[in-house]
A and B are shown apart, each in its own frame.
Chain A
């Protein structure tokens, strides 16, 4: 019995060691997002609370905690309360398989990439549940839009993942990183990287694909009826998902924890820092896109997903596999 408890305690300790930094960095990343956004638009952004306004998110969180949680009378109360919890949980559990370095991962499972894909495809439920349970027009429309959008772009993300897997021959995330020791996949699979980046924007409901919460049409989409801490949980879940997509992009295409060149000053920096640099780089790209690009129209969004990205990434699967087959580079023989 003792061994059970010792295993339990070490695991809980490890999980806390992972989750607390993730939550803190989500708070920081919200600040970074707003600063980059303001920088592009020649504003100052949050700069009052703490040095450079660093503690703005903490102040916001404090405000959310003390606000009243309003549950609409005609809502479906259980589902209404569950929705933000689902969003938040799903955004956090996927961090378990992200490898921060060699043997520095919480759960080194064989089907890591499938797990990530599965959890991100579950993310749509938080939104649908929130939109439906609010029992109100705007949230419902937002939820329907978001579900259609996320399902569509998931398909192309799946096909892009197949492209990477063809070059690796394993579903394990650590193997995927180790396969990029000589050449990061962003170079041979550059078009796939671009499509992955755009699909990740759509998957996380970021601008220019933020139609589910398009304020001009739908108030705040599925979040309209939420207030206080429940709204903050949606918010946190959304940003944790964005960070996760950045982490996924760095693991799949930018070589995860590997340093760009394997010579002294670079490879002396420990792996987790490289991964964090890459996540930050991708996140700043996300923020720049948010600041520069206007919102898509709904039919343009669907057209882009189904008629352009899906056929192109399917074509690239054929291209990659025939290239690997012809030059006898197929892994895992």
Chain B
């Protein structure tokens, strides 16, 4: 088990250090890179406790999709490097520090309330419709619980994501006038007769084309 614990400490050290570096590093893009490193080491920890499915989903969803979008936004916004402006910021009058403190305090107390009042259902293990055994792979056991006991929550979370997606589209969509679109059907169904127009040109007068 020595190798196991060595790897555990390596990954958890990387996870904690990179989590700190996310907030400390001055370049925003570096922060996102550290966030990615954090996600990766956490998924390694998931794999080490035998939750290989969760670890892989963590990699696919958070690292493969969410963090790419983060990186996109940060790069596109072209946020300048903050040079020692942490507590003496001039560019927005320094108003973001108190607001940030307020928000993080609220989240902190919410977390205390949630975790302090955390109770497992007394007969949790009996109420699940599977019995946990080492024979079944954890992908299968997650599927068994997710689609039977928690089907309602699963579907509701899917609905919430759908609503969020539609909301984002509705908020950003605007109809623009004068946009030229390509229509494949129109292009392909064009015949020779309508494509070519033979005009009898009069001498010294030319042809007037109004298109």
Interfacial residues of chain A within 107-136, with CB under 8 A of chain B in the complex: 109-111, 114-115, 117-118, 121-122, 124-125, 128-129, 132
A154-B64 CB under 8 A given contacts A128-B71, A132-B75 = yes
Q: Mark A51-89, 1 if CB is under 8 A from B, else 0.
A: 000000000000000000000000010010000000000
- 11 new A-B contacts at CB < 8 Å, known A128-B68, A132-B29: A114-B53, A117-B56, A121-B59, A124-B68, A129-B33, A132-B75, A140-B75, A144-B72, A144-B76, A151-B64, A151-B69
Of all chain B residues, the one with the shortest Cβ separation from A169 is: B140
B44 to nearest A CB, angstroms?
Answer: 12
Tell yes or no: B36 within 8 A of A by CB.
yes
| B13 contacts chain A at the CB level, 8 A cutoff | no
Q: How many residues of B contact A (CB 8 A)?
A: 27
Quick one: which of A150-180 are within 8 Å of B by CB? 151, 154, 158, 171
A118-B29 contact, Cβ under 8 Å, with A4-B3, A147-B72, A151-B65: no
Taking the complex as formed, is B57 at the interface, i.e. its CB lies under 8 A from any CB of chain A? Answer: yes
Contacts of A124 in B (CB 8 A): 64, 68
Task: Judge whether B104 is part of the interface by a CB distance below 8 angstroms.
Answer: no
In the bound complex, CA of A118 to CA of B60 (Å): 5
Cβ-based interface call for B22 (8 A): no
The listed residue (A4, A122, A129, A132) touching B64 by CB distance below 8 A is A122
> Which residue of chain B has the shortest Cβ distance to A121 in the bound complex?
B64
The digit string for B63-102, where 1 denotes a CB below 8 A from any CB of A, is 1110011011001100000000000000000000000000
A114 touches B65 (CB 8 A): no
Residue in B closest to A155 when the chains form the complex, CB atoms = B65
> B157: CB under 8 A from chain A?
no
Is A294 in contact with chain B by the CB < 8 A criterion?
Answer: no
With a cutoff of 8 Å between Cβ atoms, the chain A residues found around residue B65 in the complex are 121, 151, 154
**Which of A110, A115, A144, A154 is within 8 Å of B75, CB to CB?**
A144
- Contact present for A110 and B137 (CB under 8 Å): yes
- Chain B 25-58 interface residues, beta-carbon cutoff 8 Å to A: 27, 29-30, 33, 36, 52-53, 56-57
A114 and B71: CB pair below 8 A? no
Chain B interface (Cβ < 8 Å from any Cβ of A): 2-3, 27, 29-30, 33, 36, 52-53, 56-57, 59-60, 63-65, 68-69, 71-72, 75-76, 137-140, 182
- The interface of chain A, by Cβ under 8 A from chain B, is 4, 76, 79, 109-111, 114-115, 117-118, 121-122, 124-125, 128-129, 132, 140, 144, 147-148, 151, 154, 158, 171, 299, 332
**Do residues A151 and B60 form an inter-chain contact, with CB atoms below 8 A?**
no
Contacts of B139 in A (CB 8 A): 110-111, 171
A-B complex: 9 closest residue pairs judged by Cβ atoms: A121-B64, A118-B59, A114-B56, A118-B60, A110-B137, A111-B52, A111-B56, A118-B56, A151-B68
CA–CA, A148 to B2, complex, Å? 43
Q: How far is the CB of B190 from chain A (nearest CB, A)?
A: 18
Chain B residues with CB below 8 A from A115, complex form: 56
Closest CB in chain A relative to B41 CB, distance in Å = 14
> Which residue of the partner chain B has the closest CB to A171?
B139
Q: How many pairs of A and B residues are in contact by the CB < 8 Å rule?
A: 64
Q: What would be 21 A-B contacts, judged by CB atoms less than 8 Å apart?
A: A4-B2, A79-B30, A110-B52, A110-B138, A114-B53, A114-B57, A117-B60, A118-B56, A118-B59, A121-B59, A122-B63, A122-B64, A124-B68, A125-B36, A128-B68, A129-B33, A144-B75, A147-B72, A154-B65, A171-B137, A299-B182
Least CB distance, B180 to chain A, in whole angstroms? 11
A109→B52 contact, CB < 8 A: yes
**B75–A111 touching, CB < 8 Å:** no
Question: What's the Cα separation between A283 and B205 when bound, in Å?
Answer: 60
- Assembled-state Cα–Cα distance A155/B2 (Å): 40
Minimum CB–CB distance from B164 to chain A (whole Å) comes to: 17
Q: Cα distance A154–B64 when bound, in Å?
A: 9
Q: Which A residues are CB-close (under 8 A) to B2?
A: 4
A130 vs chain B, min Cβ distance (A)? 13
In the bound assembly, the distance between CA atoms of A114 and B63 in angstroms comes to 13
**Interchain nearest-CB distance for A313 vs B (Å):** 17
Q: How far is A4 from B4 in the complex, measured between Cα atoms in Å? A: 11
A298 to chain B, nearest CB (A): 12
The minimal Cβ–Cβ distance linking B54 to chain A, given in whole angstroms, is: 10
The residue from A109, A121, A129, A299 contacting B60, defined by CB atoms under 8 A apart = A121
* A111 x B60 contact (CB < 8 A): no
| Distance in angstroms between the alpha carbons of A109 and B52 in the assembled complex | 9
Q: A111-B139, A128-B71 are in contact. Are A121 and B63 (CB under 8 A)?
A: yes
A317 → chain B closest CB, angstroms: 15
